[in-house]
Structure formats: C-alpha cells, structure tokens
Amino acid sequence: MAKSRGNGQGSVTKIKDTKGKIKYQVRITVGSEFDAEKEKFRYISKSLGVYKTKAEAEAVLAEYNSSPYDLTNKITTVGELYDYWSETYFEKVAPSAKRSVESAWAYCESIRNLKLKKLGSSHIRDVMENGTREIIRGSKKEVRHTSINTKLRIKSLFNLMLDEAVGLKLVTSNVARSFDVKDMRKEADYQKKKKESFSNEELEILWNNLDYRFMDMLLIGIYSGFRPSELCNIEVKNVDLENNIIVEGMKTEAGRDRVVPIHPLIKLLVEARFEQAIKLDSRWLFNDIYSPTSKHVTYDKFRHRYEEIMRYFGIQNKTGHCVRVTFITMAYTAGLPEYAIKRIVGHSLKGNVTDAIYNRVTPEQLYRFICMIPKYMDEEVQRKIQASDELLRVLEELITNMKIEK
C-alpha cells in the first residue's frame, strides 16, 4: 500500500513485476484534469521509476520533493512534450497501441521543434493532411503520405498529449479539440466497409476460377450469408433442392434452424456438392475428397483453403468474415429490406417495430428477396448507399455480432 502523503507529494507503491517479484514504484503528481463524467478534477501522475527496495524508492521521492523538476522550463517544444507524455502513456497501453502512436508521430516531424506555446490547430491540421514519413526497405527509400486512418490517429494523439499539457499548465487550452473530424470518421468507416466487401473485380476472379479447389464453397458463402462455421456444418438432410432452401443456424436464437434461400447463381454449385456428399455417404454437404483422413471440411480446413485462394489470386485485405459482409453489402445495395437481410443472416431485430414482419416472412418471400441480388453490384449505387449513415449503422451492428463468430 502506498504511504500517505500530502497532495502533490507523490507516492511509493508496492507492485509485482512480470516474474512476480516485489518492487516499489515511485509516482509523482504532475498536473490535473477535469473528469466530466464524475464532475471533478483528478490528478495526473508520472512514474519516476521502479526500484528493488522501498528504501531506494523513498530516497528518490524525497530527493524529488526537495528539488522538483521544473517542467515549464524542460518542456518547451512539441517534440519535448511528446517525449515526456509518451514515456508515461506507453507504460499503460498494449504494444500494439504503442506502435500505433509511434507510427502516427512519425508523420509529425515537421513540427517537432515548434514552440509549444505557438502550436495552433492549423499546425495539427497540416500534419494530418500533408505529413510524410520515410520508409527504407533495403536500398530503396519510400515516402509515405498520411492515410485517412493515420490522420485520425494523429488527431487522437494530439488530443491526449495536449490534455496533459493543459493539466501541467504548459498551455492554456487544447487546440486539437477545437475542431472535429466527424466527416473524416465517416469516410474511414466507408473505406473500412468497402475493404471488407469483395469488389466486382474480385468477384469476377472468383467466378472465372470455379475449378480451383474450394472456390465453389467460397461463392456459396458469399451468396448465402452463412457464417463460415455454419457453412462448414451444413448437413445434407437440411438441404432442400426442390424448394430452394437450406435450414441451418447455430449461433443465436434468431439463427437457430433459420431458413436460408438458395440463390439461383449458386444452385448448380449446391447441387454438385449435394450429389458428391450422397456418393460419399457423407453427413455433411461440404467434403474434401482428397483428404487422407476425415472428408468433412471443418472450419480450420476451410480457413486454410480460403487463405490459400486469397494468396494465389492476389486478393488482399479479405479475412474470412468478409464473405458474410459481402453478402450483407450486396443485399443492402440491391434494395432488400433490413428485416429480410437480418432474417437470412440470422440476427434478431431487438426492439424494432418491424419485429412482426420479421417473424412472419415466409421462405418463398425470402427466396424472392435473395433473387434480387445480382451477380455483381451496381458500383454507382453501391458507392452512394455505402456512404450513407443507414448502411454504416446496419453493417456496424451486423459486423459487431460477427466479431464473436468464427
């Protein structure tokens, strides 16, 4: 337990290191900030180090309190503030967050030596829009410009860094918080969703290479909306070719035993898999006839084959869940109502006024809806719809659910 001292005099706290050994950490109070949620100010602290014995830690703190560091003289430039702030911040965050901050700061070298008191919002906007960094690969030097996500990370970096500067009374206000980036965030969301969906060019590559192993399974997934794990576990007994439906679902109440219509584009592919399963006397729709052990295409086997397809055909930034996201995007772009999309992909409409419609929709109606989805998307319509708040909301909700799925 930390020894009680007067406000602003710091503390010595007993901690355990990664090997479980007792150490003593010295922390000092370097400022304060207003906590809007709790409606009160809270102290901002900084570590002066971790020591083997309590006596060492107490001595360091006593020395500091007898002659505290004068931060107003020590921190005068933007670069000095970053060095000071990041030292403490990096102690609290994961390595990935540290790398993200370091990457964003690399684009800000042009204002490193700028006097902190002269820093304005225009300087931050400028590095967001025009910042560059050099990447050296072997003998080649590459100049990178800020992407939209890097711009947002730079904004976040200055938000946090200048909050501390205000608390330390190094500046009187946080100029980074004087402007918002709502439009930029909307564009970033759009770009993210766009990357998560297969483009028409990528879909064409898939259709033109149907003879490649497991390509048919991938396309069946894209035009049906199944989770990858559900796709792998479709049983032959649940495939009704006469009525163009597959009964499946295993993740949620909404998804269990749901009816998924078979899109006409993939009907022949499903029929071929069905006939193959019958010949193999297999319980499962998807089988690997070349496997020396189990014929059943498990999730792990599908994932490996999927990654192989992406590498072989040079399709980048497409994880397994992009199969399902592509279906959702195509369905929405084609004009399917939200309740129909959710019914097909197996998500409930909690608290939605269309619950009654959702629960009454028939397999025949779902089949008519899925037939509205074309082989390729109308890119102009897709661009307009994907930029809308409505699709971003639907995708965010559905994709959030998918993050817990395989």
Is 395's pLDDT higher than 90?
A: no
Taking the C-alpha atoms of residue 181 and residue 187, their distance in angstroms, rounded to an integer, is 10
User: Phi/psi of residue 141, each to 5°?
Assistant: -115, 125
> Whole-number mean pLDDT of the chain?
81
Q: What is the pLDDT of residue 60?
A: 81
Q: What band does 402 get if pLDDT is binned at 50, 70 and 90?
A: very low
Q: Which residue has the tokens 């109308």?
A: 378
**What crossing angle do the helices spanning 379-386 and 389-402 adopt, rounded to 10°?**
80
Q: Reduce the DSSP state of residue 232 to 3 states and report it.
A: helix
197 within 8 A of 218, measured Cβ to Cβ: no
Q: What is the pLDDT of residue 161?
A: 94
User: Phi/psi of residue 381, each to 5°?
Assistant: -65, -40
Which residue ranges does the chain devote to CATH 1.10.150.130? 74-179
Q: What is the pLDDT of residue 263?
A: 96
Out of 93-97, 136-140, 177-181, give the one with best mean pLDDT: 177-181
Q: How far is CA 300 from CA 70, 304, 361, in A?
A: 58, 6, 34
Which residue ranges does the chain devote to CATH 1.10.443.10? 195-402
Q: What is the pTM of this model?
A: 0.53
- Within 8 A by CB and 6+ apart from 405, the residues are 227, 228, 229, 251, 321
Structure tokens at 373: 């989805």
Alpha helix stretches (DSSP H) within 69-147? 71-74, 78-92, 95-105, 121-130
Fold type of domain 195-402 = hpI Integrase; Chain A (1.10.443)
The whole-number average pLDDT for the span 210-225 is 95
DSSP letters spanning 252-297: STTTTTEEEE--GGGHHHHHHHHHHHHHHT-SBS-B-TT-SS--B-
Q: Does domain 74-179 have CATH number 3.20.20.10?
A: no
328 within 8 A of 398, measured Cβ to Cβ: yes
Give the tens place of pLDDT for each residue, 305-354. 999 999 999 988 788 888 988 998 899 888 898 888 988 988 765 544 44
Q: Reduce the DSSP state of residue 6 to 3 states and report it.
A: coil
